[in-house]
Amino acid sequence: MSPDRTTTATAPLLLENGLLFDGRGGDPVRGGAVLIENGRITFAGPGAAVPELPDGTERVDVRGDAILPGFIDCHVHVAGPGTAMSHAQLAALPRSLATFLAAPRLRATLEAGVTTVRDLGGADAGHRMAVDNGLLVGPRLQIAIAMLSPTGGHGDFRMPYQETGGDHGLGRLADGVPECRRAVREVLRAGADVVKVAATGGVWSPSDQPDDDGFLEDEIRTIVDIAAGHRGKKVAAHAQGRGGIRNAVLGGVASVEHGYAIDDELIDLMLERGTFLVPTLTTANTDPDPAKAAPWAVEKKLHWQRIARTCVPRAIERGVRIAMGTDCGIAEHGTNLRELAHLVDCGMTPSDAIVAGTANAAELLGLSAEIGTLEAGKRADVVVARTNPLTDIAALADPTTITRVIKDGTTYKNLA
Ligand SMILES: [Zn+2]
């Protein structure tokens, strides 16, 4: 969010007669209303308490539809093709075409009801600037530039016999504390809002397993300390196996991404430190396509899918703080809110799933003062959905259910 972003001046807007979810997890308000002026929310609450309307206010009766905060996806890769192409096809694209292809993905993400995303590798500052200055239509972006990774780790996409190349621009390799210092300073220099580290191996990297350690605790702590010294920027750790989750949490990261093999000891540690888990169940539940993925990747994926389905529900049951993230870019773009139903399948209440995708996600991104709830003073990021999410949360995954999307007070989608 650069201070010089241009906002279109629009008339004040009142959304009324909605089922209002404010993002804080209480009971929704029937007959709720939201008043938007100059890009900000000036009122959210029961229709009977709406203040006197400014001259020229447009009134929209949403006829009982749900009014929700704009959702926040804490884990996407807008530069990733989803399931549309193989890694080999992606690697063969000219850089310019690969960049242009992000435009329809950003639009689809916004139209799915997601008004803010955290891109954990692949997008650069140009993606963020293009959305901020209105060249592209999309959600507000926080970006990580590239994933910092040790040699042979999850950010090392060279085939085992390759000395150079093959990184898809997604990884930045570093080994040992001095190289980690340089690598984190490089992504901060390139405009990173958040730093991504590989604390374990992963499914799509060719030289490791998801329970191999990535960076060690001292390397992670170095990166966390340097990021914190740059306006309090946070670190997100790709971490699937137990050893790496432990290194990441002890190293001080703000969030464990995936966390598939989380166990009670790690849950205790995360509860103690307030570490967020972003379980990315959307990608965990996307079956690999044997026609597009290498055989070793298919095998790893199916194995780790089973682990996630066993361990993530335990973390939810024990109250680990959850923020919504999908890994869209690996999974398909534009149906991000599938994640909410997956969270409910893992034992979360629909109300808590909404909080994971709004207030909790805003807190993880350090944006609680600006977004994540429908409250006077916040940026007007608002979604209207033709469903009651308490009885059918899965319906939110269908973009045609999302009838209206407002970001910073500007309406970008209106199916009414
Ligand atoms: Zn990812």
Topology of the domain comprising 13-69+372-414: Urease, subunit C; domain 1 (2.30.40)
Domain extent listing, the chain:
13-69+372-414, 71-364
* Segment 348-375 mean pLDDT: 98
Average pLDDT over the chain, rounded to whole? 93
* Segment 271-297 mean pLDDT: 90
* 201 Cα–ligand 1 center, Å: 12
Nearest Cα neighbor of 57 from 35, 75, 81, 76 is 35
Phi, psi (rounded to 5 degrees) for 348: -80, 150
Angle, alpha carbons 188-193-194 (nearest 5°): 90
DSSP codes, 207-232: T--TTSB-S-HHHHHHHHHHHHTTTT
Position 6 scores a pLDDT of: 41
* Segment 27-41 mean pLDDT: 98
CA 163 to CA 173: how far, in whole Å? Answer: 13
ipTM: 0.96
* 289 Cα–ligand 1 center, Å: 18
Alpha helix ranges (H) inside 26-156: 87-91, 95-100, 102-111, 125-132
- Of the listed 73, 193, 196, 413, which one is catalytic? 196
Catalytic residue list contains 413 = no
pLDDT tens string 309-336: 999 999 999 999 999 999 999 999 999 9
pLDDT tens string 69-85: 999 999 999 999 888 88
Which residue did the predictor score with more confidence, 9 or 323? Answer: 323
* Segment 185-201 mean pLDDT: 97
Q: Does the pLDDT of residue 20 top 50, yes or no?
A: yes
Q: Does the pLDDT of residue 298 top 90, yes or no?
A: no
CA 6 to CA 391: how far, in whole Å? Answer: 39
| CATH architecture group of domain 71-364 | Alpha-Beta Barrel (3.20)
Contacts of 60 (CB under 8 A, 6+ apart): 13, 14, 15, 16, 416
DSSP codes, 235-288: EEEEE-SHHHHHHHHHHT-SEEEE-TT--HHHHHHHHHHT-EEE--HHHHTS--
* 23 Cα–ligand 1 center, Å: 25
Q: Does the pLDDT of residue 162 top 80, yes or no?
A: no
Catalytic residue list contains 196 = yes
Q: Residues 197, 214: contact at Cβ < 8 Å?
A: yes
